[in-house]
Structure 1
Amino acid sequence: MERDDEANFARKMIELRERWEMSQSEVARKMVERGFDNYSQMTVSRTEKGERPIRLGEARVLAEVLGSSLELMMRGTHEEEFLGAVEKTQAAISTKMFDAAFALWDYADLTSDIDHLRLALSTFDRETESDSRRALETLEELRFPVSAVALWAAEMVAAGRDLTDRELLHSDVQRLKRLAGDYGKPEATA
């Protein structure tokens, strides 16, 4: 394990030095500035090749010079890849959670438009009102509490239902009505 740590440190040392476009001489100069008086380009070269042991304090300062930490410098490639994958997945999950929350917020905003449409309907004359009233009633059938819609969507995903099938919503209106009964009257609120 100790040899792995040293090999990882040496590999990471080269990688970071090259990433920061630093020469071995520049690294040696920065080490001298931090109190390692006899540090030379040859010392850096031998350290990178694993030809000389490195003391803990020296390793910590080298990591700082290279913009890293001792812990990260000793980490192996597989662990770095794994931790990178974990971080990437965590970011993607967070993004999707917020996307879902914003989609529910948008749903609540859209369903609140039903109230505005109902007001607009009151300005229509009696002849056109009946068709418009039926259209509004159809629209009102899609108005549910946001929590019921969220639970319904979660059930659809868990069941592996085809979410691209728009007929799914119409076939599941009864389920949404039951969920709405569990969460209050069918009105969405933001």
Structure 2
Amino acid sequence: MNPLPGDLFARRLRQERERLGISQAELARRMAALLGTNVDSTAITRIEQQTRAVRLDEAVTAAEALGVPLVVLVSDSYARENEAEIQNQLAELALAKQEWEKLRQKIHRITQTIQQLSAERDAFCSHALDVDPETAGDYELAPEIRAALDASMCDARTKPAGEVAAPDA
């Protein structure tokens, strides 16, 4: 048999209060401030022990004082749905981390290849300059390619080997 909403409220009120690490007196103080009336801490004790029914205005205020939607305090299904969503998001996060790691490794390989090709190009240009200084300029890269290459290599040189920054959000 499913527990009654009042029973769920009492149990969930205590769970949420303890999760936040606040006393019954502190919860009563917060509720009193929100209601603008006195709330005695013994009222919280009796509500949690199910020896006193909770009034609707108290239930709404207790949820607000705890910083949770009222449905959290009166429904077990909300907690189950929330837990399922957390599990889904954790699985999606793990998948995204795997994809990020693959991309990070690909970026690292491409960066290494560019560095190697740049070094070979510089060695070739140096050799061409030694062999025939007049035609050495024929082997220069187009200015826009050179600028893009220099920018990419500048980024690669400022990071430790193998480290690739996460893309901006």
Query: When the two structures are superposed, what TM-score results if normalisation uses the length of structure 2?
Result: 0.56
- Structure 1 residue 62: Cα displacement: 0.6
RMSD of aligned alpha carbons: 3.2
- 2:83: which partner in 1? 81
- Asked if structure 1 preserves the Cα contact closer than 8 Å seen for 2:35 and 2:61, the reply is no
Please give the alpha-carbon distance, in whole angstroms, between the structure 1 residues aligned to 2:5 and 2:109.
53
- Structure 1 residue 44: Cα displacement: 0.8
- 1:91: which partner in 2? 93
For 1:48, the aligned partner's letter is: E
Q: How many equivalent pairs are there?
A: 125
Please give the alpha-carbon distance, in whole angstroms, between the structure 1 residues aligned to 2:100 and 2:75.
32
Please give the alpha-carbon distance, in whole angstroms, between the structure 1 residues aligned to 2:104 and 2:75.
38
Please give the alpha-carbon distance, in whole angstroms, between the structure 2 residues aligned to 1:91 and 1:56.
39
Deviation per CA, 1:13-41: give whole Å up to 9, x if none: 21222233322122222222222635322
Please give the alpha-carbon distance, in whole angstroms, between the structure 1 residues aligned to 2:115 and 2:49.
69
Please give the alpha-carbon distance, in whole angstroms, between the structure 2 residues aligned to 1:62 and 1:53.
13
For 1:35, the aligned partner's letter is: L
For 1:94, the aligned partner's letter is: A
- 1:11: which partner in 2? 11
Deviation per CA, 1:43-84: give whole Å up to 9, x if none: 212221334443444222211212322233344254443233
Closer/same/farther in 2, CA of residues 123 and 37 from structure 1, 3 Å limit: closer
Closer/same/farther in 2, CA of residues 74 and 93 from structure 1, 3 Å limit: farther
Alignment of 1:97-112 (within 5 A): 97-112=99-114
Closer/same/farther in 2, CA of residues 73 and 112 from structure 1, 3 Å limit: farther
**Unaligned segments of structure 2, at least 5 residues:** 128-169
Closer/same/farther in 2, CA of residues 87 and 71 from structure 1, 3 Å limit: farther
- Asked if structure 1 preserves the Cα contact closer than 8 Å seen for 2:63 and 2:69, the reply is yes
Please give the alpha-carbon distance, in whole angstroms, between the structure 2 residues aligned to 1:7 and 1:86.
29
Please give the alpha-carbon distance, in whole angstroms, between the structure 2 residues aligned to 1:116 and 1:35.
71
- Asked if structure 1 preserves the Cα contact closer than 8 Å seen for 2:10 and 2:48, the reply is yes
Please give the alpha-carbon distance, in whole angstroms, between the structure 2 residues aligned to 1:96 and 1:49.
47
- 1:169: which partner in 2? none
Closer/same/farther in 2, CA of residues 83 and 52 from structure 1, 3 Å limit: farther
Percent of pairs with identical residues: 24
For 2:84, the aligned partner's letter is: F
SS at match of 1:37: coil
SS at match of 1:98: helix
